[in-house]
Amino acid sequence: MRLLFGAKLEVGKHRKDHDTEWYASMDAYPDPDVVNRRPMTRRLLTILAADVAEYSRHIEAHEETALSHLSALRGLMEPVIETHQGKIANTAGDSVIAWFESPVEALRAAIQFQQAHKAYNDKVPNAERLFFRVGINIGDVTVQENGDILGHGVNMAARLEALAEPGGICLSQNVMDQVDGKVEFAFSKVGEHHVKNVAKPVTVYSVGDAGAMAPRLRRRVSKAIRNPALQVGMTAGVALISAVTLWFVLNQETSNTERLQIAQLLEGNPDPEDILSAFDLVTSGTFNGHTYHVIRTWGGDWSDIEHLARALGGYPVAIGSQAENDFVFELSLKEEGHWVVYDTAFEGPMIGFVQQEGAPEPGGGWIWQNGEAVDYTNWASDAPDNWRGNQHLANFANPKRNAPAPEWGDTPAVHASVIIEIPN
């Protein structure tokens, strides 16, 4: 069985008791048309799933302030959902699930409350900022007599949410079909998501803020971004992307697997070869007697990455020279899929450079996770900069030019891939 880890398969980490279905109660906003139906009737709805990225880390670091900010963000979110004729089906901790009759209204609600959250976060210290991720899907769901809903349509919305970047929105193809041309936002087609028990992959889109962008320019930008060649290189026409500020990104997923917690993957101390075979994309090479694996994990907490590295007998890569930096950079480009586009910039694999808690921001206290001396760095010209909050991790990134580059940037979360170094 092939596995991936990173985000949540269920509603959230606090709901691990649900292995196969994510259900939600609509008791808080009873709908007579639903409640009066006979048990287990079916209904076609637009489902919006949202939760806070790295919520557990925030609770552990500063519980009281995290709960206060969560309450404030929820206070901004819930009236917007109601204004757009949505019903909140259930909330659990940081997770929210809502349903709408209209996919257009669902998207407008998501955009509006993400904008409100951004304005709120601008006034919050970087380390305390909470970012919701959102997934929207249209699905045929089972409606029970008490108003509960369950089924693949709800699960798919949760998986889309898990793929989204902090502050981002992801749409399934069926939502895109309904909203394109009706809402003035730029959409980026960034890959296909294979879902359990569904033969055909689901094409997934990320959403950007187009503001007052003219429809013709929006279509041109959307067409450019949808080109798969953008994942590995750029042509002259790609310069068009720099004219648009994208708020959201979605990692391309091309495996027929589900995202699970790494603890499940590593149960029983499996052989390293079995661990590597569980991921849909692994690119390997050797340099100066060490083996390097670029592994597409589709996110995960940093503790997950450390656990994975230890299980493989290594550590997140510690780069000590220009030659080693060039080697792992080129290794990350050998196969398509280790780099994604975010906010017109290219985001590449994670490296083992981390910032110590309490260090002066943004440039102080950066160390190699394995304890090696910091004899070499290759930060981009303006990095580290904390522009998306407390960015305590590092990855290959190019914040200025529209192509992958062997430079580093700071980031608050794990991106598509990580580089693991294993001494031979």
CATH number where 56 lies: 3.30.70.1230
Closest CA to 203 of 232, 175, 168, 234: 175
Residue 128 maps to a domain? yes
pLDDT of residue 30 exceeding 80, the answer is no
Short-list 330, 386, 263, CA closest to 6 = 263
Model confidence at 11: pLDDT above 60:
no
Residue 220 lies in a domain: no
Confidence of residue 353 (pLDDT cuts 50, 70, 90): very high
Residue 70's pLDDT is 94
Number of neighbouring beta carbons within 10 Å of residue 68: 12
DSSP-derived 3-state class of residue 169: strand
User: For residue 238, what pLDDT is reported?
Assistant: 33
Residue among 360, 376, 359, 357 nearest 368 (CA): 376
Mean pLDDT of 343-369: 88
What percentage of the chain carries pLDDT values higher than 70?
Answer: 70
127 touches 86 (CB < 8 A): no
> Rounded to an integer, what is the distance from CA 139 to the centroid of its chain?
21
What CATH number does residue 366 fall under?
A: 3.10.100.10
Question: Residues 339, 416: one domain?
Answer: yes
Query: Which residues, including other chains, have CB under 8 Å from residue 119's CB and lie 6 or more apart?
Result: none
User: Which residues neighbour 29 within 8 Å (Cβ) at sequence distance 6 or greater?
Assistant: 87, 88, 89
For the ranges 132-141, 301-310, 368-377, the maximum mean pLDDT occurs at 368-377
pLDDT of residue 14: 36
Q: Given a cut of 90, is residue 349 above it in pLDDT? A: yes
pLDDT for 105 beyond 60: yes
Q: Quick one: average pLDDT of 208-235?
A: 37
Residue-level pLDDT at 234: 36
Domain for residue 4, yes or no?
Answer: no
Encoding tokens for residue 23? Answer: 């259900």
Residue 7 within a domain: no
SS3 for 186? strand
Distance from C-alpha of 296 to C-alpha of 302, rounded to nearest angstrom: 14
Q: How far apart are CA 399 and CA 407, in angstroms?
A: 9
112 C-beta neighbours (distance < 10 Å), count: 17
The region of weakest confidence among 10-24, 147-161, 188-202 is 10-24
Which range (76-90, 103-117, 236-250) has the least confidence? 236-250
| Structure confidence at residue 218 (pLDDT) | 35
Task: Pick the more confident residue, 389 or 36.
Answer: 389
Kindly state the DSSP code that residue 261 receives in the 8-state scheme: -
Instruction: Summarize the confidence of residues 359-375 as an average pLDDT.
Output: 93
Q: Are 79 and 142 found together in one domain? A: yes
User: Looking at the structure, do residues 171 and 267 belong to the same domain, yes or no?
Assistant: no
> For residues 161 and 137, what is the distance between their CA atoms, to the nearest angstrom?
10
What b/e string do you get for 408-419 counting C-beta neighbours within 10 Å, with b at 16 or more? bbbbbbbbbbbb
pLDDT score of 295: 94
Q: How many domains does the chain have?
A: 2
Q: Is residue 229 part of a domain?
A: no
Please state the rounded mean pLDDT for residues 348-365: 93
- Name all contacts of 222-228 with Cβ < 8 Å and 24+ positions apart: 222/186, 222/187, 222/188, 222/189, 225/186, 225/187, 225/188, 225/189, 225/190, 225/341, 226/188, 226/189, 228/336
Is residue 240's pLDDT more than 70?
A: no
Say how far residue 93 (Cα) sits from the centre of its chain.
Answer: 19
User: Last residue of some domain: 170, 185, 209?
Assistant: 209
Q: Which of 175, 209, 243 is the last residue of a domain?
A: 209
Residue 178 CA to residue 284 CA, distance in Å, equals 41
pTM over 0.75: no
Query: Average pLDDT in the 241-251 region?
Result: 30
Q: Mind giving me the DSSP string for 370-390?
A: T--------B-TT-S--TTS-
Instruction: Look at 96-100, 227-231, 363-367, 373-377 and tell me which has the smallest mean pLDDT.
Output: 227-231
Please give the residue range of the domain that contains residue 308: 263-423
With a cut of 60, say whether residue 10 has pLDDT above it. no
SS3 76: helix
Residue at 185 is within a domain: yes
DSSP bridge partners of 44:
140
Statement: residue 266 has pLDDT above 90: no
- If asked whether residues 297 and 407 sit together in one domain, one would say yes
Which residue's entry shows tokens 């925030």? Answer: 58
Give the type of residue at 388. R
Mean pLDDT for the chain overall: 76
Q: Of 32-36, 184-188, 251-255, give the lowest mean pLDDT range.
A: 251-255
User: What's the pLDDT score for residue 189?
Assistant: 75
